[in-house]
Amino acid sequence: MENKVEINASPSIEYVNSSGETPPNGAPPTSSLANKDRADEENDNIDKRSEEKPAGTKFTYHQKATFASAMMASLSNMMAASIISVFYPIEAKAKGMNQTVIGLVFSAFALTTGIGSPIWGKFIPVFGARFIFLAGAFVTGGCNVLFGFIVDMPTRATFTAFSFAIRLLEGLGSSATKTASAAIVAFTFPENVGTAVSLIEMTGGLAYAIGPAIGGLLYDAGGFRFPFFALGGLVLAIDIANFFLLPQQGQKKEESGPLTLVLSIPAIWLALLAVFVAAISLTSLVPTVPIHLKELGFTVLQISFIFLSFGLSYAISSVIWGAVADAKKATRIMMVFGAFGSALFFLFLGPSQLLKIPSTKLLAILVIPTGTVMMGLFIMPTFVDMYISAEWYGVPTNLGVTSIIAGLWNGVFAFGSLVGPLLGGALTQVYGFAYATTIFAGALISVMIVLCLFGVWEYRCGKGRRVPRSRLEMQANTTDEEQVPLIPNDV
C-alpha cells in the first residue's frame, strides 16, 4: 500500500496511508498534515454529526436545517434586492434624476457587495457565522422597508442621497448573508461543496430574475411603498424563522481565516481571474442583448421569455456542473471547456464578423440558452477549485478558510457584475454589438489559454510532481507528541 506523502526527516513519526490501514514494517513514514488540536476538533464535529444522523438517511438534521435556512435566505434576500428594477427608474426620473445617476444607484449595491464580501469572509469566524448570517438578513430587510419611505422625500437631493445611502447599506447586508451562507454550506457539506453551493446560487439567481416581475405587480397593486414593505417584511420574517432553525456553525468563537496564506496560492488567483472575466462577460449582456433582440424584430414579451430561458438554463446547468465538479474533481478541465464554449457563445451571439454569417432570430433563440449552459460550466467549478487548491497547499479546511474562499469568490463576482454592464454598454455604443461580443470572446479565449498554461506549469513544478512548500512546512512544525509512531517499530 502506497503512502500519501513521503518524508525522510525523522525515524519516529506517524504512519499514514490512504486506506487507514497499518503499513507493513519498513514502510516509509509520513507525518500528519494538521496539528493535534485541529484533528481533535474535526473528530468532535464528525462524531457530533454522526450522532444526529438517523439510520437510513443520507444527511443529518444539522445539515438539513442549515441548507433550508440558506435556501430561504437566498430566495428572499435576492428577490428583495432586485424588485426596484422595473419601477424605481420611473419614480426617480419623475423626481428629476438623470439616467446616469439612476444607473449609479443600481451600481451602488454591487459596489458594497464587492467590498463587503471579503471583509465578512475574514471576520465570520470571529463574530460567528450564524450571527453574520442573521444580522446581514436583518439589515437587508430593514433597508427594503426604509426604501419604501424615500418617495416622501421633499427634494431631488434628499431623494437621491437616501437612495444611495440605503442601497449601499443594503449591499453590505446582502453580502454578509450571502458570504456567510456560502461559507456555512461549504463547511457543512465538505463532500458536496459544488452541489450545495450551486443550489444556493441557483435559488438566488432565480429569485433575482423573478424579483423585478414581482416588484412590478406589487407596484401596480399598491404603489411605490407596497413592494418594499412586502418583500422587506418577508426577509425579516424568514430571518426570525432562521433564528430558531439555523444551528450553530463551528465553534462559537474561532480565529479568522488565513487570508494571506490563501492568497499566496497561485491557483486561487487563477480561479479569481476566471470568476472576474466570466462575471464581466455574463453581465455585459444585461443592457445590450435586449436592444439587439429588439433590432432583430422580437417583441417585448418575446424578449422577456428569452431572458427567462437565459436565467433558467444558467441556474439549472450550474447545479449539474456543481455535482459533476464534486464527483470528478476535474475542475480545471471543466473551466477550460467552459471558457472555450463561452467564447463560442459570444462569437455566435453577435454574430462576429469573423464567422461571416447573418444575424437571425433562430440563431439568437438557439445560442442564448445553449451559451449560458457553457457559462455555468465555466463559473461553477471555480469555487470548488479554490477549495481543492487550499486543501492541497496545506491550508486547514475549517470554517475560517471556507469563509475566506466564499468572501473572495462573492466579492470578485460582485465587482465583475459592476464592471460588466458599464463595459458592455460602452463597447456596444462605440463599436457595435457584434464587435463587443467578439472582444468578450477574445477575453474568454485568453483566460482559457492561461488556464492551460498554468495547468502545465502546475503539473511540472508543483501540484502534480511534488508536495507544496507550505504543506511541507506544516509537517515540519508538528509537535513531538504528533511524531510518536502509532505502531512501535518492534511490533
Rounded mean pLDDT of 442-454?
A: 95
Is residue 290's pLDDT more than 70?
Answer: yes
Q: How confident is the model at residue 28 (pLDDT cuts 50, 70, 90)?
A: very low
pTM of the model: 0.74
The reported pLDDT for the residue numbered 254 is 56
The reported pLDDT for the residue numbered 250 is 54
The reported pLDDT for the residue numbered 132 is 93
The reported pLDDT for the residue numbered 468 is 56
Is residue 429's pLDDT more than 50?
Answer: yes
Nearest partner of 433 among 348, 373, 314, 366, judged by Cα: 348
Q: Which residues have a Cβ under 8 Å from the Cβ of 353 and sit 6 or more positions away?
A: 434, 435, 438
Q: C-alpha grid cell for residue 208?
A: 433575482
The reported pLDDT for the residue numbered 4 is 39
Rounded mean pLDDT of 459-480?
A: 56
Q: How confident is the model at residue 176 (pLDDT cuts 50, 70, 90)?
A: very high
Q: How confident is the model at residue 56 (pLDDT cuts 50, 70, 90)?
A: very low
Instruction: Work out the angle between the directed axes of helices 266-283 and 399-431 (0-180°, nearest 10).
Output: 40
Q: How confident is the model at residue 30 (pLDDT cuts 50, 70, 90)?
A: very low
Looking at 64-68, 106-110, 454-458, 459-463, which range is the least confident one?
Answer: 459-463
Q: C-alpha grid cell for residue 227?
A: 413592494
Taking the C-alpha atoms of residue 60 and residue 467, their distance in angstroms, rounded to an integer, is 35
Q: How confident is the model at residue 23 (pLDDT cuts 50, 70, 90)?
A: very low
- Phi then psi for residue 89, to 5 deg, are -55, -35
Instruction: Please give the share of the chain, as a percent, with pLDDT higher than 90.
Output: 33
The reported pLDDT for the residue numbered 390 is 87
Residue bearing the bigger pLDDT, 329 or 300: 329
The reported pLDDT for the residue numbered 249 is 64
Full DSSP string of 126-179: HH-HHHHHHHHHHHHHHHHHHHTTGGG-SSHHHHHHHHHHHHHHHHHHHHHHHH
Residue with cell 414593505: 229
Residue bearing the bigger pLDDT, 467 or 240: 240
Looking at 190-194, 195-199, 251-255, which range is the least confident one?
Answer: 251-255
Which one of 83-92, 288-297, 335-344, 469-478 scores highest in mean pLDDT? Answer: 335-344
183 to 65, 117, 128, 220, 246: CA distances (angstroms): 15, 11, 11, 38, 14
pLDDT in tens, 213-268: 788 888 888 889 999 999 999 999 999 999 999 887 654 555 656 788 888 888 99
Taking the C-alpha atoms of residue 99 and residue 131, their distance in angstroms, rounded to an integer, is 38
Q: How confident is the model at residue 44 (pLDDT cuts 50, 70, 90)?
A: very low
Residue bearing the bigger pLDDT, 464 or 256: 256
Is residue 19's pLDDT more than 60?
Answer: no
Instruction: Please give the share of the chain, as a percent, with pLDDT higher than 70.
Output: 80
Looking at 77-91, 271-285, 329-343, which range is the least confident one?
Answer: 77-91
Rounded mean pLDDT of 467-476?
A: 56
